[in-house]
Structure 1
Amino acid sequence: MNQEVLSARGLVVTLAGRRAIDGLDLSVPAGSVYALLGGNGAGKTTTLNALLGFVAPAAGSVQVAGVDLRRNAAAARRHLAYLPENVALYPYLSGIENLQYFCALGGVPLADAAARALLDQAGLQAASHAARVATYSKGMRQKVGLAIAHAKRAKAMLLDEPTSGLDPGAANDFAQRVRAAADTGMAVLMATHDLFNAKQVADCIGIMKEGRLVAQFDTHTVSHDELERAYLAHTRAAPLERAA
């Protein structure tokens, strides 16, 4: 059995006087992808923020690679890579320069050849490595983000709506790159609305509603139709997003 890398136990997060996360138990082992589904306001983004230490839990615990986040947030974050919906890169630097810059911030100098190898691994075409990021599509920027995660040698990666706004081909390609990252031993937690890609790339899928994990499925044993019915049953009455 793979070692647990990301875990939340009895996690409670209170925002604006309400429980945005309400007693969440979640586990992501090494080498696996966990897709977190749910309607707007379900608590997906708040869950990622809690695992990153951006919001303080009112109760419960979070561990990253065996490090308690509340006791040593800096040490826990060293094991994490985070890709938001829109990866923030410097538009007038190239893909190589952005990768080298963010690695330098983390104290990891990166030569051109190593940077190119990481961008290749992330799926960015060689012809685009030296082009300014201002010319990149969203999918290309996401691949630079993946390269940064690989360069950091992160044990876990958190993704927030990574395929939002991508065309089907780009979304499928990115999903395969995420799967490849997990196959190297990384634990991946992905918040998404994309049922198709979740079923395609994840090992486990959880559905959140009102801050609670209300259903969980092994993707190898659940059909797409069963997953879609469960998702719709839990999300049709979901409230509008307020603080997730």
Structure 2
Amino acid sequence: MLEAINLDKSFADKKVLNDLSFVVQSGEIMCLLGANGAGKSTTLNVFLNFLQPDSGKALIDGLDVHRDANTKDKLVYLPEQVNLYQEFNAIDNLKYLASLSGLSVTTEQIHAALDETGLEQNARQQSLKSYSKGMRQKVGIAFAIIREAKVLLLDEPTSGLDPSATLEFIRIIQQLADKGAAILMVTHDFYCAHTLADKIGIMDKGTLLTLIENKNLPLASLEQKYHELISGKTPIKKVS
């Protein structure tokens, strides 16, 4: 569903993506771990068609995102800070976002999507300026549910969330994957990556150092492998 094929990108003389390749299947969650400047957000921006790669391809459902505008209809992007209309309530935000996407939705459908996210009933008529980050995220995720998005791109979604909100976020995202969405998340959060991901990519200076299959891998082992790779900078294809 989501595929990077030999992506390269440079700004001036700085390489920010270096022969990056990976696949995220439907129903699969992949997390990219790495320090600031590792190329994680650049990867998302290529898939969003905010950046054109120097070479290689970014595919969504087999379509080149830089050649086929229809790929935008298949994805929802959740940035670190969800930018919604602060004076609107959750219902009005979702109605407006749906109209921009050419969708006709009922209030009942919106409430059903918000039910899935766990946003409390008494908060739905309040303006978003009173919302916490976790509550704003739930509105953004509700939009992904309404759109029946095949691909979800997440940029540092647990930054600034307390432990309870992080657990609630993990529950919601896992439900979307269970429905068949392909999910790519970039994060610094080892716990979230370890809990959610089917596979975890470790990036440094635009290079995917390794792709870890997250099967019965202890959290401590993930952290150790991360620090060993970042300090050693030795690319390897896969760690089991």
Matches within 5 A, 1:104-119: 104-119=99-114
Q: 2:125 aligns with which of 127, 130, 134?
A: 130
TM-score, normalisation: structure 2: 0.94
Q: 1:181 aligns with which of 176, 180, 190?
A: 176
CA deviation string 1:63-114 (max 9, x = no partner): 1011112221x11111110000000011110011101110010010221111
C-alpha deviation, 1:195, in angstroms: 0.4
Counterpart Cα distance in 2 of 1:237 and 1:174: 33
Q: 1:152 aligns with which of 147, 167, 172?
A: 147
- 1:24 corresponds in structure 2 to 20
Q: 2:213 aligns with which of 193, 207, 218?
A: 218
Cα RMSD for the two superposed structures: 1.3
Alignment partner of 1:43 is 2:54: no
CA distance change for structure 1 residues 121 and 58 in 2, over 3 Å: closer, same or farther? same
Matches within 5 A, 1:1-244: 5-72=1-68, 74-236=69-231
TM-score, normalisation: structure 1: 0.92
C-alpha deviation, 1:200, in angstroms: 0.5
Aligned AA (2:118): G
Partner-residue secondary structure (3-state), 1:85 = coil
Gaps of 5+ in 1: 239-244
CA deviation string 1:113-152 (max 9, x = no partner): 1111111112211111111111110000001000111111
Q: Is the 2:109–2:146 contact (alpha carbons within 8 Å) kept by the matching residues of 1?
A: no
Question: Paired residues, what number?
Answer: 233
Counterpart Cα distance in 2 of 1:8 and 1:34: 12
Q: Percent identity?
A: 40
